Structure 1
Amino acid sequence: MKKIKIKLLAFMALCLVFLLPVGCKKGFFDAVPDNLVTVDGVFQNRSQTERWLAGLYSSIPDPWDMPYNYITSITADEMDASNWTNPPINSGALNADQNSSGMNAFYEKIRLCTIFLENIDRNEEIKALANGADLIKQYKGEAQFLRAYYYWIFMKQVGPVVIAPLKASTPEDNFQIPRSSWDECVAFVLSQMTEAESKLPLNNYINGTSDLDVTKAGRINKIIVAAVKSQILLYHASPLFNGNTELSDFKNLDGKQLFNQSYDATRWKAASDAAKAAIDLAEANGKGIYKVTSTTPFRAAFLSCRDLYWSGWKTEGIWLRTSTAISGSWEASASPRSTQGTGYNGLGVVQSLVDDFRMADGNNITTSAIYKENTYTSTANEYYVAGTNTMYTNREPRFYADVTFNGAVNPGVAKTGANNARVEFFNTGTSGKAGVPRDWPKTGYTARKNIHPTFSMNPYVTVARPAMLIRLAELYLNYAEALNESDPGNPDVLKYLNLIRTRGGLPELANGISQSDLRNQIRLERRIELCYEGGNRYYDVRRWKIPNQQGSNQGGAFYGMNMDAGTSLSDPNFHVRTIAFTRAIWQRKFYFLPYGQNEMDRNKQLVQFPGY
């Protein structure tokens, strides 16, 4: 047992090297002293106990760690990075030996949460503090929530999971445990979060005051719990998880059905109630949709959407991740080569997403009388230069905040010269295919969202900011979707959907829209508002069961501009819809990732998702 404890602490110490800064007292992230080599030693010392708690946060996914995170936009109909990396799900080669779910890391964190919960009450040093009892109660709530949350993100990836006993395991324990059903998994996670919620503060306040403590940003509180529960219940009500007869063959070895086969309409009511409760709680504590004012409504909408990620997180952010790879990974990977210091220029946005952004008047490009792909503008503005193809003009403000196109003004600090002040994706352009082996987007577009206008590679300039794991706009869209299904015609559906549209510079939708048309509008709004953020699109198309439908296809041919052509900005040979890359045709097994083969080999009660 002593050897086991030593190994456990060695593992914990290694984890602590990569701790997520969650904002605690000075010295919180110092190295573990050599003389503390047992669990007993850790939980007799306040500092080490709090470091253990901080380590429990470290596996929360970073939504801007791109492009090398498998479960992100590069495996959905948002982006491509196949010049650099191409996850096996895109080629159809995904199997249990290539499991990319992070399963082992999740179970390790789940076990460490359990050890913390079993031992925190033994810390006499914390108990002796004036607020010691309250601290221990709060710490328990954080650990209990995080344990449930790691189950939840694992469930999103692989479906029904194996739920470990709520005690620290020993080598003598029985690990032959079958999957729980999806409904059982949801009930377990929700019950754990509800228990945790009762132990947590409403918000992260400075002790003894009503002032927010920014050093505790990201620490779990009641607002965060309510937001995550909203997400869980929305998924639980969705077609993939609610009466999905397509997965009737997914059973345990004893024949137990892992997905319910009967549709339950009341789940949408539960989801809408949870979303509204989360919204009300957030707004009562000062949260709101981030907006700025400017000279024109269009410019105000653009700045509201562009600056949200570095100026608006205090207003709109519900759950923050204070440690993020925004600058070192995302900004560098998405910036064109014309960026000062030379961006990596490789996160290619697919044509279907470009096409889904509306025109400035709210019309789709297919119904707009002014949308044209064979003419070029003679005027310039803050968003594009003269000579830009008119397919990129008169688009909605979010288009200019989220997509970099041929002729766009450089998103960051440009190299010197007029050719670098604008972005040139045509073949011989400054960010084109010619002359470089891999640093060019196959589609002729790159992602632009969350690139700060002062970003530079060399000299290295970035604006530090946290990442928003959940923001208020997502809760608004959760509510609108669930309410449209549970109570069609309720005026709140349009109210909350229009709050997102108008912030983005679009006109309000009028009354009288059918439930099915509103469903499509809500789905489109999620597609645009949440693009590139935390795998939302990846999971949305799956839970809606539309990954093989036109306009949301996750396999087959994906289009862009012709990167093999073009010698000038207005060259029509570049502006031709061309197959940019092809992915494996959608298969049912891609709804979920496989359990890792190593776990399948160890646990003989575990069944694999059909198709792997």
Structure 2
Amino acid sequence: MKKNILIMVVGICFLGACLSSCNYLNKKPDNLLTSDLIWSTRANAESYLYNIYGYIKQTDGGDYSAMGASDESSVSIPGTNVRQMVVGNWSPVNAYFDYWDNYYTGIRSSFIFEANIDKVPATQLSVSLKNQYKAEARFLRGWFYWQLIKQYGPVVKVTETLSLNDDFNKYPRASFDECKDYVNQLMDQAASGLPAQWPSTSNYGRPTKGACLAVKAQLALLSASPLWNGNPSFASFKNQDGTPLAPTVFDAGKWKIAADAAKVVIDLGSYKLFTNLDNGGTQFDPYLSVRDLFLTNWNSEIIFSRNSWNYWGYTKCVSPGPGGYSMYNATQNVVDAFYMNNGRTIDDPLSGYTATSFAQSNGAKYWEHSKGQWNMYANREPRFYAYIQYNGRPVLPAPTVDDKNYYSSAANIDGTGRVEFYYNGKAGAKASGASNNITGYDVLKNVSPADNIRMDATNYRPFILIRYAEILLDYVEALNEYDPSNPNVVLYLDQIRTRAGLPGIETVYPGAVGNKDLMRKYILRERQVELCFESDRYFTLVRRLLLGADENQTIYGLNVNTDDQGLGFAFTGLYNKTLFQKRVWNNKMYLFPISQYQLDRDRALVQNPGW
């Protein structure tokens, strides 16, 4: 993975390199940068702050592949960490994606910054800027804790800088509620010192008031969800002194708290769902709206993101061969989750769905299926065509005819670059390479047609960490749980569906309106589709205690390993739904294990249940 992470050292060479980098929010500070030299100038102090942002982890396959750990995708290389996780080969000794040290180092750096920023001479840095930077540091501290809570649950609450020779055997875990309250406190403090919007593009990538409130909303949703709201399996989850670490009594009022927290973000009026009309379009286009929201810098839907991220690694991993690695493969599970273009699920008798034979005509819209593609892919919703690469669909990150032809076998060269996932195809199982496609699908979401993955040419753009659609889905999920008849459930859910080119839920499934259980089903389905491949599915199934369900551990793909006998695109056997993997599950996996290394360092820590 190509990453521009600069290991900072004391000295003029370091400062020059750091200050000249255009990607200044993507680096990490060295632990030695605590001398007064750093706080003697504005430039040095700002560099220290900017580089704390480097502890934010992305979910692009290089840092953490949560999408490969849920039912929406799989990783094609068997030995990768995420493939080991889903077959049960992980433990405190080999604790994959162990970001405990990373986040606590970021937390420590934020304390150092906040304790020293006032040393910068007033002639170089105003009081207002110092206060703004302190607010940013508090946001980052809260963000790191929020990420720790998502992975590990209750963690150690550190409220000041610890010395390097401190006794680390005296720091037990705080309770879940204590951790939650601390993050909320940090976000409230940060929000009071941050603007609703940044007036200049040079500040994009910094948090805003809305980002602080969005973190609070997401944390409230986690707190209200079954994992942390009366989960009986956590009854014995206690510190060594017997202090309970998890709330084991269900509180329905937490759903209202979560809904109210999300509504605060909505009522800011700072965000809206992106459409192609915001990008110069003259007529609403649902396909371009759901595709280009990830490709349009600093659009109205972005609440918090990394600044100017190089998508080479992500695009290379999700793109088909021979130009891409085809490493992250979408599953039949997620393909089946997308709606038809009439807004109905594929198992609805009124949907018009068929999984047999080839389409005899092109779809009605330019983004839809083409004649000769399998009917399974006909007349699906716009998000399906924007987010799923299937057999016979032209490759996206190939801007020229020559680039497109590179993906085609000699008999298929026609200037379109139709992807060949059948066995003998260029992206098929027989092709050479360690990461050939294993499900018959790749990921198209967040892939730009302006990129050329064959030439390893990708553009920088923001890496979105929170967007407005998430908050809308958070809101309707929580609101439905405590007030299912509230008209806002339909109102805000329909905003998502309308942008996706679908009719309202009350039109297609009127029986769901006011029916908590049925509406929950459609809200979670909408979340699965709208937020696919954004690392939400894994954590949604975790907080809902659904990841261990058999249907979410039974992974399907296409029949990619049967020889097409030279039939190529005409081979119908490819489209047989095939069991790809029956994953291994244990309920202890709802939380990540704390690594044995951390337990040995801090004898006051208790391990997560079951590990």
TM-score tier by shorter-chain length is 0.7 to 0.9
The normalised TM-score by structure 1 is 0.88
Deviation per CA, 1:324-356, whole angstroms, max 9, x where unpaired? 242x11111111226xxx222222111111101
Match of 1:3 in 2: none
Range that drifts further, 229-238 or 574-583: 574-583
Q: Tell me which residue corresponds to 1:463.
A: 459
The Cα of 1:314 is off from its aligned counterpart by 1.4
Residue 250 of structure 2 corresponds to residue 263 of structure 1: yes
Q: Which amino acid aligns with 2:291?
A: R
Alignment-derived partner of residue 108 in structure 1: 105
Alignment of 1:10-409 (within 5 A): 38-63=34-59, 65-66=60-61, 68-83=62-77, 85-87=80-82, 88-99=84-95, 100-124=97-121, 127-129=122-124, 132-173=126-167, 175-204=169-198, 212-281=199-268, 283=269, 285=270, 287-292=271-276, 300-311=285-296, 313-326=298-311, 328-337=312-321, 342-369=323-350, 370-380=352-362, 382=366, 383-409=368-394
Kindly state the Cα deviation for residue 391 of structure 1 after the two structures are TM-superposed. 0.7
Given residue 166 of structure 1, which amino acid in structure 2 is its aligned partner?
E
Name which of structure 1's ranges 80-89 and 191-200 shifts more when overlaid on structure 2: 80-89
Residue of structure 2 equivalent to 1:209 = none
Residue 609 of structure 1: aligned partner: 608
- Is 1:20–1:55's contact at 8 Å kept on the other side of the alignment? no
Q: Please point out which of 491, 495, 511 is paired with 1:495.
A: 491
CA distance in 2, matches of 1:371, 1:147: 48
Conserved 8 A contact 1:320-1:468 = yes
The residue type paired with residue 396 of structure 2 is P
Change (3 A) 1:19 1:251: farther
Seen in structure 2, the aligned counterparts of structure 1 residues 89 and 460 have a Cα distance that, compared at 3 Å, is closer
Deviates more, 1:429-438 or 1:103-112: 429-438
1:504 and 2:500 are equivalent in the alignment: yes
Change over 3 Å in CA distance of 1:218–1:561 after alignment to 2? same
For this pair of structures, how many residues does the alignment match? 576
Using the TM superposition, give the Cα deviation of residue 385 of structure 1 relative to its aligned residue in structure 2, in angstroms: 3.4
The letter for the 2-side match of 1:522 is I
CA offsets per residue over residues 138-169 of structure 1, 9 Å max, x none?
11111111112101101100111011242343
Contact 2:397/2:450 (8 A) holds in 1 = yes
- The answer to whether the 8 Å contact 1:44/1:123 transfers is yes
Question: Would the aligned equivalents of 1:271 and 1:482 in 2 still touch at CA under 8 Å?
Answer: yes
Q: C-alpha displacement at 1:15, in angstroms?
A: 12
- Report the secondary structure of 1:321's partner residue: strand
Q: 1:23 to 1:324 in 2, by over 3 A?
A: closer
- SS of the equivalent of 1:373 reads coil
| Amino acid paired to 2:593 | P
Q: What is the letter of the counterpart of residue 540 of structure 1?
A: T
Give the Cα separation in 2 of the matches to 1:437 and 1:443: 16
Matches of 1:458 and 1:8, distance apart in 2: 33
d(CA) in 2 for partners of 1:320 and 1:463? 16
> Matches of 2:385 and 2:586 in 1, distance apart?
34
- Residue 314 of structure 2 aligns to which amino acid in structure 1? W
What CA distance in whole angstroms lies between the structure 2 residues aligned with 1:319 and 1:195? 17
RMSD of aligned residue pairs (Cα, Å):
3.0
Q: How big is the shift at 1:301?
A: 1.0
Conservation of the 8 A alpha-carbon contact between 1:318 and 1:471: yes
CA distance in 2, matches of 1:421, 1:255: 62
Aligned sequence identity (%): 34
Change (3 A) 1:203 1:22: farther
| Of 131-140 and 85-94, the range deviating more from structure 2 | 85-94
Q: CA deviation at 1:486?
A: 2.3
Shift in CA distance, 8/115, structure 1 to aligned 2, threshold 3 Å:
farther
Determine the C-alpha separation between the residues in 2 that align with 1:95 and 1:181: 23
Cα distance change, pair 15–577 in 1 and its aligned pair in 2 (3 A):
farther
- State the one-letter code of the partner of 2:112: I
Match of 2:327, SS? coil
The structural deviation recorded for 1:198 is: 1.5
AA paired with 1:448?
L
Secondary structure of residue in 2 paired with 1:171: coil
